[in-house]
Amino acid sequence: MDADSERLILDSVERFLTQEVRPVARDLELADEYPHDLVEKMKTLGLFGATISERYGGLGLPASTYAKIVERVSAVWMSVSGIFNSHLIMCAAVERFGSEAMKEAFLPRMASGELRGGIALTEPDCGTDLQAVRTRAVREGDEYVISGTKQWITNSVQGNVLAVLVKTDLHAQPRHKGMSLLLVEKKAGYVATKLAKLGYKGVDTGEVLFDQVRVPVANLVGEAQGRGLQQILSGLALGRINVAARGVGVARASLDASLGYAQQRKTFDVPIAEHQAIQIKLADMATRVEAARLLTEKAALAYDSGERCDLEAGMAKLFATEAAVENSMEALRIHGAYGYSPDNVVERYYRDAPLLVVGEGTNELQRIIIARQLVERNPV
């Protein structure tokens, strides 16, 4: 994508954020209210098809442009980015591994936002160890019958389709060979309940009970069973780049709020920005933002190249999300008691940031991935 085209897209996103999101973000967030009106405007902008190819009605944006969009959105209200990020991970799995018939049937409706959803991986007793999932899909003729529970699933309540990781063979060894990915639209037996959270409010995160839900065999992603774990893990690279971009956005927003406040707030007759203790905090915050952005850009470019990018995405996700946590804490300290009030945006940054270090693979897991990739890429 050329620079002029990218700038037009980013300018459109900035206008949307300034005119539509910023005026309502605080009230919707405090009420933990789903932003239905914003979702309709996001459909018009094409955000639900941001990374879907133009062939299927999407914008076909590279990850490098997509990451810039996510950073900007997250700097205003991070929850909005979650509404289309999980959705696009699902779409990436369909576009990369689905049959042509599946792509034609689902991707145009996903790109328009008619179908919105995400990925259903986590279960009450299964998070990082996805091979331990218990949700089952038993084939009966031309259908799969799904039973089980998924938890912490974004877009499961207000959305209408999920890519669900299931066990189709309980006895397969190794275990991942018994796992498959199925597209499940809302129907009888699909019961979603909204869960309460510390932050990341507004966007719906739910527990989903699948009680004998029947889906056509044609909803299996890929040509055969047993490839579900590999399919979804390949899509998580884009998810981790997205979470890294969210980290950059929250870290930057924390810095911007602190810079403004530090130049207005006075102690001992001078702005606190003139105190060395505050200057050190601002310098560290700004450095984290720039480093996080560069790592995220590198990861996005690696993803766009088509090469494996576990290392780059893991580094970006690790550093950018830790930067968000650290900057949000420093912002709260710089603002003092005012930062502790829900009337101040830095209180929201402080509540939102912790999600980033556990979502899309914990940062402890990212460190393991990074180390393994370092060894693999640098054999002795």
Asked whether the bond before 379 is cis by omega within 30 degrees of 0, the reply is no
Question: CB 342: neighbour CB atoms within 10 A?
Answer: 11
**What is the distance between the terminal CA atoms of the chain, rounded to a whole angstrom?**
39
DSSP helix, strand, coil percent of the chain (3-state; round to 5): 60, 15, 25
Query: Which secondary-structure segment (H or E) carries 316?
Result: helix 310-335
Helix 345-358 vs helix 228-264: crossing angle, to nearest 10: 150
**Which residue shows structure tokens 């050190």?**
280
Rounded to whole angstroms, the Cα distance separating 106 from 375 reads 40
Give residue 326's identity as a one-letter amino acid code: E
The catalytic residues are 360
Phi–psi pair at 107, nearest 5 degrees: -60, -40
Rounded to whole angstroms, the Cα distance separating 31 from 302 reads 39
Question: CB 126: neighbour CB atoms within 10 A?
Answer: 17
**Which two tokens mark 65?**
């442009």
**Which residue shows structure tokens 């509404």?**
83
